Structure formats: structure tokens, C-alpha cells
């Protein structure tokens, strides 16, 4: 029994030494990990500062255009569809007297609609509200004919004005600019010359 006790006594100090060595290794590893984390944090802080400085420089140069707020609406008439974006006029915008700053497919509405009657239809919602020089509009229109496109623009422009100010609804509704005109040419029927025109009937 005495021999067994001696063996246990010899084993205990060796285990304690091994445990101490393991603890020292763990402490050293933790310190190294902490150093690496600090380095990474410092690098991230440097990146944030550089990005912020670059953004400020770009804003000072005036290269980054500021986004303008606009009100978007869609107008329809016959086969024409118009997407209208309504902006408020800036002090830098130059608008000729008696005309509106309205671009239709990247052209002025006077150039796009050669007929004065059609260009009058386009600007009629702004004229009725007496705010022709107060707004500017960018419009993309497609489908249908010239007359249908003009009516679609009027419809979309009126809707956009209502989104800008709900008080415009009464006036525009009174003039009939907010109602979707659903009248379309009736299709031709077989056996007839046109939608309802029958061939001439001969008695003999």
C-alpha cells in the first residue's frame, strides 16, 4: 500500500505543472487576440473618416446633384398613356411669360404639339389654377394619336396637382379634368361597312 501512495504523490505535482503551462499559454493567446481586435477597430475607424471626408468634398464641389421632390401621376385617354412628374419651380428656372415649363418626351410642349389648340389642352390645368409659372413638369407619353396624348397629359397633370394640394380637387373636378374619358372608337363589325354603317340596300 505504501508504494501506491508514493506513485500518487509523484503524479500530482506533474499535473499541477502542466495546468500552469496551459494557463500561461491561454493568457498569451488572449492577449494576442485582444491586440488584433484593437488593430482591426483602428483600421475601421480610419475607413469611416476617409469616406466621410470624401462625401463632404463631393458635396462642396457640387458634383453630386440633389434629388428634387416630385409628385407622379398617370393619365390616360384612348390608347395614350402619359406619366407626369410635377416639380415646384426653383428660383434658377427661367420660364417665359405666358408659357409653362413642361417637357414632353424631352421636348417643350410647344415643339411637341405644333397645334396651338393641343398645346392649350396640355397647359389648361395650370392656367385654370392660375399657376402656370409656379410648377414645372416632365412628361413621358406613348401610344395613341396626338389628340389622345394631349388629353392624357391633361389628365395626368391634373392628378399630380391634386397630389400636391388636395384643395385643387374641387376646381379641377368642376372643369372635368379629373374624369377619365372612356370614349373609344367602336370596332367594325363583320357584314357592315364600319361599326354600324350597313351596305346600301337595293330594292331590286
Specify burial of residue 141 (Cβ count, 10 A radius: 0-12, 13-18, 19+): buried
Which residues are paired to 142 by β-bridges?
81
How many CB atoms are closer than 10 A to CB 148?
20
Q: Which of 20-24, 66-70, 158-162, 185-189 has the lowest mean pLDDT?
A: 20-24
What was the pLDDT predicted at 58?
38
Lookup: cell for 36:
488584433
What was the pLDDT predicted at 8?
45
Give the model confidence (pLDDT) of 60-80 as tens digits. 445 555 677 889 999 999 999
| Helices (H) then strands (E): counts for the chain | 5, 5
Higher pLDDT, 165 or 68: 165
- Predicted TM-score (pTM) of this structure: 0.64
Strands (E), the chain: 71-77, 80-88, 101-104, 107-108, 135-142
Give the model confidence (pLDDT) of 77-110 as tens digits. 999 999 999 998 776 767 666 677 899 999 999 9
Q: Is 176's pLDDT higher than 70?
A: yes
As a whole number of Å, the end-to-end CA separation of the chain is: 144
Q: Which of 1-5, 48-52, 85-89, 153-157 has the lowest mean pLDDT?
A: 48-52
The band of 35, judged by pLDDT with boundaries at 50, 70 and 90, is low
The candidate with the shortest Cα–Cα distance to 109, out of 129, 138, 144, is 138
Q: How far is CA 174 from CA 10, 102, 128, in A?
A: 107, 23, 11
The long-range contacts involving 107-116, CB below 8 angstroms and separated by at least 24 positions, are 109/139, 109/153, 113/146, 113/150, 115/146
What was the pLDDT predicted at 2?
46
Q: Are 103 and 109 in contact (CB under 8 A)?
A: yes
- 3-state SS, residue 89: coil
β-strand 71-77 against 101-104: which pairing, if any?
unpaired
Amino acid at each position: 500500500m505504501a508504494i501506491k501512495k508514493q506513485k500518487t504523490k509523484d503524479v500530482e505535482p506533474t499535473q499541477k505543472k502542466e495546468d500552469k503551462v496551459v494557463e500561461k499559454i491561454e493568457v498569451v493567446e488572449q492577449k494576442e487576440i485582444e491586440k488584433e481586435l484593437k488593430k482591426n477597430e483602428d483600421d475601421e475607424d480610419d475607413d469611416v473618416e476617409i469616406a466621410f471626408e470624401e462625401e463632404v468634398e463631393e458635396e462642396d464641389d457640387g458634383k453630386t446633384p440633389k434629388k428634387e421632390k416630385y409628385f407622379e401621376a398617370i393619365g390616360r385617354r384612348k390608347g395614350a398613356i402619359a406619366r407626369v412628374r410635377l416639380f415646384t419651380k426653383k428660383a434658377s428656372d427661367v420660364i417665359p411669360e405666358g408659357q409653362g415649363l413642361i417637357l414632353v418626351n424631352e421636348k417643350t410642349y410647344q415643339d411637341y404639339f405644333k397645334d396651338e389648340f393641343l398645346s392649350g389642352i396640355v397647359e389648361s390645368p395650370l392656367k385654370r389654377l392660375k399657376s402656370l409659372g409656379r410648377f414645372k413638369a416632365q412628361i413621358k407619353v406613348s401610344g395613341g394619336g396626338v389628340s389622345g396624348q394631349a388629353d392624357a397629359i391633361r389628365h395626368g397633370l391634373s392628378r399630380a396637382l391634386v397630389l400636391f394640394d388636395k384643395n385643387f380637387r374641387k376646381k379641377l373636378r368642376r372643369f372635368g379634368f379629373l374624369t377619365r374619358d372612356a370614349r373609344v372608337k367602336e370596332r367594325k363589325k363583320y357584314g357592315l361597312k364600319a361599326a354600324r354603317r350597313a351596305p346600301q340596300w337595293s330594292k331590286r
